[in-house]
C-alpha cells in the first residue's frame, strides 16, 4: 500500500517536475533579443527553421473596425504579397493594446499593428516597440522622404521613430445647415471660439427644441483635452502645462473642465445618457435630423457626410477657448520589438504607407501624410483645413496613467466627481515630473 | 504469510498503476492551474513591465493596493454585482423551477428551453444586446416606459453612477437564472412522487408543498448553485467591458477590469498580480461566509 508520506513525496516530485518544465519553457520562450535593424535585408531568407521556399507567416492587425478604408488596404496587402507571405489579418478593436502586449509578452507578437504614433509611450517605455529609424534612414533616407512636413515627429521619442503615420487626424464638426439656418445660426469657416459655439448651441436648442450636438462616447474626452490645449493665454504657458509645470488645479485648467461639463450638461444628445451614446446612435440621429451637429474625425468625415444623405452639410473647425490649435496627431503603424522577421514587417509598412495604397484613402476623402497622392474631390481641402493647427503636445503624454484618465475617464469623472477628480491627476502629475 | 505479502505487493502495484494513470491529469492541472496560480503569487512580490527583467518588490505592491482608491472601489463594485446578481439568479431560477414543475411535460420543455437560452448566449453578445435595449433615447426599455406614461422612471441605464451597477447586476442575474432553474428543476424532479401524493392527501397546496417539502429537500443544490453563482459573478469581465468598459468614469470598474487595465495599460504586472491575490482572498472569505449562512440540515428520503 502506498503510504500517505510516500504519496505526498510523489506528488511533490511531480509538482516540482511540472514547475521545472514550465520554468524551462518560460525561459526559452522569454529569451528576448531585440530584433535586428539591418534595413533592406531579404525577408524570405529569414525564416528560422522554415523550409526553403516556404512562405513566411505574418499576422497583421491594421484595420480598425470603424474605418472602411482599412479593409481595402487589407485586401491590397493580401494581393500584393500573396506570393511572398502567408498573411493572417486580425481585427483591430478597443482591446488592441491588450492584444498587442499579451502577444508581445508571450513572444508571439503581431507583425504589424495600427497604432497612434503620438500615444506610443506605453510601448516605448517598456522597450516593446521596434526602432524604425534605421529603416527610414536607409538608402539616403528614401522612405523618410516620402512623408510630408514633420509628419514623423508624432511617433518620434528621444530622436527615434517608433511608429510611422499614414493619416493626419483631428476632430471637426459636421453641421446640418438646414437646421442651423432654421435657427438663424451661422458658423464661421475659420476658427470657432468656445463662447460663440456655446451661444450657437443654445440658440439651436431654443429655436428647434433639439439637443444640438451628437458626440460618440469614446470621443467625449476630446472636449476637455482640446480645452486643456487652447485655454492658455500664450504658447509658453500652454507648453509649460503640457510639460507638467502647471497644476491641474490651476484656474484655467479648471475652467477647461468646467466648460466641458457645461457642454455635456446642456447640449449633448440625448441629454441624460450622453456619456453612453454609441457612434451608430449619433449617426442615426444626425441622419434623422435629431441633432444639428455631429462631432467626427477628419479622416472619416467625407464618408460620414455621404452616408448621412444630408444635402447641406458644413464642415466646421473644433471650438477653441483661446489659442488656435486642435488636438490630434496621426494614425500610424508600429512593429513590436520582438517580431521574428522585422524586415518583412517593415516591408509591409512601407507598402501600407506608399502612395499606391494611400491614394485609396484620398479617394475616400481622407487626408494622408505622404506625398504623391491627388484628389479630385472639390471638398477634399475641407477635411484637411486644420492640419496646420494640430497640436500633439498634450499633458496626457506625461504618463500612461494620466493618458488613461484624460482619454478614457474624462469628462465623466469630472461631471460626477467635480474638482475632487483632479486630485488624482495632480498626484500623477507630480509623480511624472519627479 | 506468503499470501499476505503477495496481496500487499499487488496492492502497491495496483495503486502505483492507478497513480500513474492520474499523472497526465495531474500534469495538465499542474500546468494550467497550479503553476499559473503559484506564478501569480510570486509575481505579486515583484515589479515587471511585461518585457524586461523582474525585480523583487517585497510588500510594496500590497502597500500600494491599500492606497489605491480606484481598486478599493472596484472591490466594492465587484462584491455588489456578485451579491446582487447571485441573489437575482438564485431566487428567480428557483421560482422558475417551481413554476415549471407545475406545468405539463411539453410546456415544461418549452419553458425550460426559453428560460435557459440566455445561459447559452456569450456574455459579450448579451452585453451588446443590452447596450441597444438600454439606450437612453432609442432603447426599448425607455420606449416601453414612455409608452406606459412612466417617464419619471426613464434613465440613462449605463451612464448614471447610481444606476449602472444595478443594471449590470440585474442583467448578470437574468443571464444565469436559466442555469439555476435547470439545476433546481433537476433536483425537484428527482424527489419521490410519494411525498407530493401524501402532501396532497393532507390537503397541502403547492405553495406550502414548495415551502415545507421541496425547498428543504433541495437545499444542497441551492447551496451549490449559490456558490457557483458567486464565483462566476466575481469573475465577470466580459459583460462589464461590453456594456460600460468600467465607466462612466470609474463607476463600474470592477476588479477584473481594473486588473487588466493595470497589467496591460500601465504595464504593472506585479501590482496586477497582487490585486488578483487579494481578490482570491476576498472571494474565498465571502464564499466561506455564504456557506456558513446557508448551512442547514440535509434530509434523506
Would the CB atoms of B159 and A274 count as touching at under 8 Å?
A: yes
| Rounded Cα distance, A11 and A18, in Å | 10
* ipTM for the whole complex: 0.79
Residues 6+ apart with CB under 8 A from B224: B183
CATH number of the domain encompassing residue B182: 1.10.3720.10
- Residue B184's pLDDT is what? 95
| Rounded Cα distance, B271 and B48, in Å | 9
**Mean pLDDT computed over B60-78:** 94
At residue A175, the 3 state secondary structure works out as strand
Q: Does B286 touch chain A (CB under 8 A)?
A: no
**Dihedral Cα A239, A244, A247, A253, nearest 10 deg:** 40
pTM (two decimals)? 0.79
Burial readout A359-371 (b: 16 or more C-beta within 10 A, e: otherwise): bbbbbbbbbbbbe
**Mean pLDDT computed over A227-242:** 96
Shortest Cα distance from B264 to chain A (angstroms)? 5
- Residue A133's pLDDT is what? 97
DSSP A284-333: HHHHTTS-SEEEEEHHHHHHHHHHHT-S-EEEEEPPBSSSS-EE-EEEEE
Run of H or E residues at A89: strand A85-92
Range name among A34-43, B107-116, B183-192 with the lowest pLDDT average:
A34-43
Assess whether the region A10-169+328-389 and the region A171-326+399-433 belong to the same CATH fold.
yes
Instruction: Count other C-beta atoms under 10 Å from residue B207's C-beta.
Output: 9
- If phi > 0 it is left, if psi is from -120 to 50 it is alpha, else beta; for residue B245 that is left
Run of H or E residues at B183: helix B161-189
Q: Does B161 touch chain A (CB under 8 A)?
A: yes
Run of H or E residues at A157: strand A156-157
| Rounded Cα distance, B243 and A56, in Å | 39
Which CATH code is given to the segment(s) A171-326+399-433?
3.40.190.10
C-alpha grid cell, residue B118: 440566455
User: Which residues of chain B does A404 touch, with a Cβ-Cβ cutoff of 8 Å?
Assistant: 261, 265-266
Run of H or E residues at B195: helix B193-201
Fold type of domain A10-169+328-389: D-Maltodextrin-Binding Protein; domain 2 (3.40.190)
Q: How far is CA B103 from the centre of its chain?
A: 29
Q: Kindly tell me if the per-residue pLDDT of A310 is higher than 90.
A: yes
- Alpha carbon distance, N-terminus to C-terminus of chain A: 65
User: Which residues of chain A does B11 touch, with a Cβ-Cβ cutoff of 8 Å?
Assistant: 1
Choose between A3 and B113: higher pLDDT. B113
B38, part of any domain = no
B181, part of any domain = yes
Q: How confident is the model at residue A9 (pLDDT cuts 50, 70, 90)?
A: low
In this prediction, what percent of chain A has a pLDDT beyond 90? Answer: 64
Q: How confident is the model at residue B292 (pLDDT cuts 50, 70, 90)?
A: confident
Instruction: Count other C-beta atoms under 10 Å from residue B266's C-beta.
Output: 17
At residue A183, the 3 state secondary structure works out as helix
| Rounded Cα distance, A128 and A122, in Å | 8
DSSP B42-107: HHTTEE--SSS--EE-TTHHHHHHHH-HHHHHHHHHHHHHHHHHHHHHHHHHHHHHHHHHTS-HHH
B247, part of any domain = yes
At residue A87, the 3 state secondary structure works out as strand
**Mean pLDDT computed over B225-242:** 86
Secondary structure letter of residue B171 according to DSSP: H
B249 touches A421 (CB < 8 A): yes
Range name among A25-29, A50-54, B33-37 with the lowest pLDDT average:
A25-29
User: Which residues of chain A does B33 touch, with a Cβ-Cβ cutoff of 8 Å?
Assistant: none
| Rounded Cα distance, A336 and A32, in Å | 12
B258, part of any domain = yes
Residues 6+ apart with CB under 8 A from B237: B254, B256, B257, B260
Would the CB atoms of B16 and A2 count as touching at under 8 Å?
A: yes
Of A2, A275, A284, the CB nearest to B159: A275
- Alpha carbon distance, N-terminus to C-terminus of chain B: 46
pLDDT in tens, A206-220: 999 999 999 999 999
C-alpha grid cell, residue B192: 419521490
Run of H or E residues at A176: strand A171-176
B35, part of any domain = no
B46, part of any domain = no
Q: What is the mean pLDDT of chain A?
A: 86
Instruction: Count other C-beta atoms under 10 Å from residue A108's C-beta.
Output: 14
Q: How confident is the model at residue A106 (pLDDT cuts 50, 70, 90)?
A: confident
Q: Kindly tell me if the per-residue pLDDT of A22 is higher than 80.
A: no
Q: Kindly tell me if the per-residue pLDDT of B89 is higher than 70.
A: yes
Would the CB atoms of B137 and A273 count as touching at under 8 Å?
A: yes
A174 touches A187 (CB < 8 A): no
A259 touches A227 (CB < 8 A): yes
Sorted by where each begins, the domain ranges of chain A are 10-169+328-389, 171-326+399-433
> Which domain range does residue B283 map to?
69-293
At residue A113, the 3 state secondary structure works out as strand
Let me know how long chain A is: 434
Q: How confident is the model at residue B125 (pLDDT cuts 50, 70, 90)?
A: confident
User: Which residues of chain B does A415 touch, with a Cβ-Cβ cutoff of 8 Å?
Assistant: 248-249
User: Which residues of chain A does B26 touch, with a Cβ-Cβ cutoff of 8 Å?
Assistant: 11, 14, 18
Would the CB atoms of B265 and A122 count as touching at under 8 Å?
A: yes
Secondary structure letter of residue B186 according to DSSP: H
Instruction: Count other C-beta atoms under 10 Å from residue B13's C-beta.
Output: 10
Which of A421, A345, A267, A363 lies closest to A109 in space, CA to CA?
A: A345
In this prediction, what percent of chain A has a pLDDT beyond 70? Answer: 88
Would the CB atoms of A126 and B52 count as touching at under 8 Å?
A: yes
- If phi > 0 it is left, if psi is from -120 to 50 it is alpha, else beta; for residue A208 that is alpha
Would the CB atoms of A18 and B38 count as touching at under 8 Å?
A: no
Run of H or E residues at A172: strand A171-176
Amino acid at each position: 500500500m502506498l503510504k500517505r508520506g510516500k504519496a505526498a513525496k510523489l506528488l511533490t516530485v511531480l509538482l516540482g517536475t511540472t514547475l521545472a518544465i514550465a520554468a524551462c519553457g518560460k525561459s526559452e520562450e522569454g529569451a528576448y533579443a531585440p530584433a535586428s535593424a539591418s534595413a533592406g535585408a531579404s525577408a524570405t531568407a529569414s525564416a528560422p527553421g522554415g523550409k526553403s521556399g516556404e512562405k513566411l507567416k505574418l499576422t497583421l492587425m491594421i484595420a480598425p473596425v470603424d474605418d472602411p478604408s482599412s479593409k481595402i488596404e487589407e485586401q491590397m496587402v493580401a494581393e500584393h504579397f500573396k506570393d511572398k507571405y502567408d498573411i493572417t489579418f486580425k481585427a483591430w478593436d478597443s482591446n488592441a493594446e491588450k492584444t498587442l502586449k499579451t502577444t508581445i509578452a508571450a513572444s508571439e507578437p503581431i507583425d504589424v499593428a495600427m497604432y497612434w504614433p503620438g500615444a506610443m509611450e506605453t510601448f516605448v517605455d517598456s522597450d516593446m516597440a521596434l526602432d524604425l529609424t534605421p529603416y527610414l534612414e536607409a538608402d539616403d533616407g528614401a522612405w523618410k522622404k516620402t512623408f510630408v512636413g514633420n509628419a514623423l515627429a508624432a511617433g518620434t521619442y528621444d530622436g527615434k521613430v517608433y511608429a510611422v503615420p499614414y493619416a493626419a487626424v483631428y476632430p471637426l464638426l459636421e453641421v446640418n445647415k438646414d437646421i442651423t439656418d432654421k435657427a438663424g445660426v451661422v458658423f464661421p469657416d475659420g476658427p470657432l471660439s468656445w463662447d460663440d459655439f456655446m451661444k450657437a448651441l443654445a440658440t439651436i436648442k431654443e429655436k428647434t427644441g433639439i439637443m444640438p450636438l451628437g458626440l460618440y462616447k469614446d470621443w467625449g474626452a476630446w472636449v476637455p483635452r482640446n480645452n486643456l490645449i487652447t485655454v492658455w493665454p500664450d504658447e509658453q504657458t500652454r507648453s509649460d502645462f503640457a510639460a507638467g509645470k502647471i497644476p491641474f488645479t490651476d484656474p484655467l485648467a479648471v475652467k477647461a473642465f468646467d466648460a466641458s461639463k457645461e457642454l455635456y450638461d446642456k447640449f449633448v444628445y440625448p441629454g441624460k445618457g450622453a456619456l453612453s451614446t454609441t457612434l451608430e446612435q449619433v449617426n442615426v440621429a444626425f441622419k434623422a435630423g435629431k441633432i444639428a451637429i455631429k462631432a467626427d474625425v477628419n479622416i472619416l468625415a467625407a464618408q460620414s457626410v455621404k452616408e448621412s444623405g444630408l444635402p447641406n452639410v458644413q464642415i466646421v473647425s473644433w471650438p477653441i477657448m483661446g489659442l488656435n490649435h486642435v488636438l490630434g496627431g496621426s494614425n500610424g503603424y508600429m512593429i513590436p520589438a520582438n517580431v521574428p522577421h522585422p524586415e518583412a514587417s517593415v516591408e509591409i509598412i512601407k507598402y501600407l504607407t506608399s502612395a499606391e495604397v494611400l491614394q485609396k484613402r484620398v479617394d475616400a476623402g481622407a487626408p494622408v501624410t505622404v506625398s504623391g497622392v491627388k484628389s479630385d474631390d472639390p471638398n477634399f481641402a475641407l477635411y484637411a483645413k486644420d492640419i496646420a493647427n494640430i497640436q500633439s503636445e498634450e499633458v496626457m503624454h506625461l504618463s500612461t496613467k494620466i493618458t488613461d484618465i484624460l482619454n478614457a475617464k474624462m469628462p465623466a469623472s469630472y461631471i460626477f466627481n467635480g474638482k475632487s477628480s483632479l486630485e488624482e491627476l495632480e498626484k500623477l502629475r507630480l509623480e511624472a515630473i519627479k | 504469510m506468503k499470501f499476505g505479502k503477495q496481496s500487499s505487493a499487488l496492492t502497491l502495484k495496483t495503486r502505483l498503476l492507478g497513480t500513474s494513470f492520474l499523472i497526465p491529469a495531474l500534469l495538465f492541472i499542474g500546468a494550467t492551474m497550479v503553476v499559473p496560480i503559484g506564478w501569480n503569487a510570486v509575481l505579486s512580490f515583484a515589479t515587471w513591465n511585461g518585457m524586461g527583467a523582474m525585480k523583487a518588490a517585497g510588500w510594496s505592491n500590497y502597500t500600494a493596493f491599500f492606497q489605491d482608491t480606484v481598486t478599493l472601489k472596484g472591490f466594492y463594485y465587484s462584491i455588489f454585482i456578485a451579491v446582487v446578481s447571485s441573489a437575482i439568479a438564485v431566487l428567480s431560477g428557483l421560482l422558475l423551477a417551481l413554476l415549471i414543475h407545475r406545468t405539463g411535460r411539453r410546456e415544461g420543455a418549452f419553458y425550460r428551453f426559453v428560460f435557459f437560452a440566455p445561459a447559452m448566449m456569450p456574455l459579450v453578445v448579451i452585453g451588446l444586446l443590452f447596450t441597444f435595449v438600454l439606450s437612453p433615447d432609442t432603447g426599448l426599455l425607455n420606449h416601453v416606459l414612455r409608452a406606459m406614461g412612466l417617464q419619471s422612471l426613464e434613465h440613462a441605464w449605463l451612464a448614471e453612477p447610481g444606476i449602472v451597477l444595478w443594471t449590470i447586476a440585474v442583467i448578470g442575474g437574468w443571464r444565469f437564472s436559466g442555469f439555476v432553474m435547470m439545476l433546481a428543476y433537476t433536483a425537484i424532479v428527482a424527489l419521490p412522487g410519494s411525498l407530493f401524493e401524501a402532501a396532497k392527501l393532507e390537503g397541502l397546496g403547492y405553495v406550502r408543498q414548495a415551502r415545507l417539502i421541496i425547498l428543504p429537500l433541495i437545499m444542497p443544490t441551492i447551496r451549490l448553485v449559490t456558490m457557483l453563482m458567486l464565483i462566476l459573478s466575481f469573475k465577470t469581465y466580459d459583460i462589464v467591458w461590453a456594456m460600460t468598459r468600467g465607466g462612466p468614469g470609474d463607476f463600474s470598474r470592477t476588479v477584473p477590469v481594473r486588473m487588466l487595465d493595470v497589467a496591460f495599460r500601465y504595464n504593472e504586472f506585479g501590482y496586477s498580480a497582487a490585486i488578483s491575490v487579494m481578490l482570491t482572498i476576498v472571494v474565498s472569505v465571502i464564499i466561506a461566509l455564504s456557506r456558513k449562512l446557508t448551512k442547514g440540515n440535509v434530509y434523506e428520503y
